[in-house]
Structure formats: C-alpha cells, structure tokens
Amino acid sequence: MSNEKIQLFEDKRIRTEWDAENEKWWFSIVDVVRVLTEQTTQRDASNYWAKLKERLKVEGANQLLTNCQQLNMIASDGKKRLTDVNGMTVVLRKV
C-alpha cells in the first residue's frame, strides 16, 4: 500500500507522503509554491523555488533551507524524483 497521496487545494494538486514512523505528513514545496504564487506550470514553480532558495542563501536565511528534507515523489512525467519537502508546521507557518 502506497503512503503517497495527492492533496487538493483549490483544485490544485499538492503531492504529499505520510511518514508513519514519525506520524507526519510531508508536502512538496514546489507544489505549495505553485499554488501560493499561482504559477501556471510545474516548471515555473520549480524555477521560482530555485530562485527563492538562491535569494534566501544570499540573505543568510539558511534555517528554512536546512529544515527541508528530500523525498522521492512521482513527478509530472510519472518518474520518481527527489523533491524538497517539509511538514505542515513549516508549510503553514506564519511569517
């Protein structure tokens, strides 16, 4: 049985994975970025996240990046690829 799920947020897909050992949901950061920034394609969202990570590193905000994990998730082409993920507390964190 797969622990991978697709969650919908306003009809937009967000890849998730349940970590039974830690009892925690992991959310694809690129998918969350796509929803929140209203990017039209997965590629645009991926580029947006890559640029944002560069800016965060320059500004010294390494905590966000350090807290990111990477999991193999199914990409739009059907292949499993390493994807930046984080838990609900970080994804929904108020700034």
- pLDDT per residue over 4-35, tens digit each? 666 656 677 889 999 889 888 999 999 999 99
Average pLDDT, the chain: 83
**Threshold 0.95, pTM exceeds:** no
- pLDDT of residue 1 exceeding 50, the answer is no
How many domains is the chain partitioned into structurally? 1
Q: What tokens does 51 get?
A: 């640029």
Q: In this predicted structure, what is the pLDDT of residue 85?
A: 93
> Who contacts 57 (Cβ-Cβ below 8 Å, separation ≥6)?
65
Q: Which residues pair with 12 in a beta bridge?
A: 9
Q: What is the pLDDT of residue 34?
A: 92
- What range does the domain containing 68 cover? 4-91
Q: Which residue has the tokens 């905000």?
A: 61
